[in-house]
Homo-oligomer: A and B are copies of this chain.
């Protein structure tokens, strides 16, 4: 058994769709208990029950839209609110990964994922990426390909600015997010079942 906590912010519903796809992927793996947490709901609530869910997780998945060159402000407020746990290194040695959505094909999505990875490293977590080769990068490729956006650090999604969450992000990006969910779940099972070496006195 391993526990996955997916904490996200979604401004207009598209990143929520992506988060749900990650959740679906994680739940496809036997032995996984996975849940969604709305970052904006707990950022200013130190006593919210979801903090305990995060504390108990084997892996934390971070997701937010890319707004103006980084994760959305409500999600950043959640990241900042974890600083007490950081000071105690309470999340040390958990696994982590991330996802992001924006309207442009690039649109500085990488910068958001880089910030998530740095955040995880401050917490002493271990980062698991997407684990896929690029899709849609030859003349035989198509926008239907898994990882059509060629992300590696995490799952990227692209949603047209005028499309509702029913339509965007498209099926390929949802499948890519689902893949990330499976990957972090499998990694969590492996990591959790591994034997932790006894630490010699430093």
- Residues of chain A having any CB pair with chain B under 8 Å: 28-31, 43, 67-73, 76-77, 79-80, 82-83, 86-87, 89, 92-93, 102-111, 114-122, 124-134, 136-141, 148-153, 156, 158, 160-163, 179, 185-187, 189-197, 199-200, 202
Main secondary structure of the interface of A (DSSP, over half): loop
Residues of chain B lying within 8 A (CB to CB) of residue A187 = 126
7 contacts between A and B (CB under 8 A): A67-B79, A67-B80, A68-B86, A69-B119, A70-B118, A108-B118, A126-B128
Would you give the shortest CB distance from A177 to chain B, in whole angstroms? 14
The answer to whether residues A79 and B70 also contact, given A126-B127, A148-B105, A195-B189 and a CB cut-off of 8 A, is yes
Q: Once the chains bind, are A150 and B194 in contact (CB under 8 Å)?
A: no
In Å, the complex CA distance between A118 and B127 comes to 11
Quick one: closest B residue to A11, CB to CB? B80
Would you give the shortest CB distance from A43 to chain B, in whole angstroms? 8
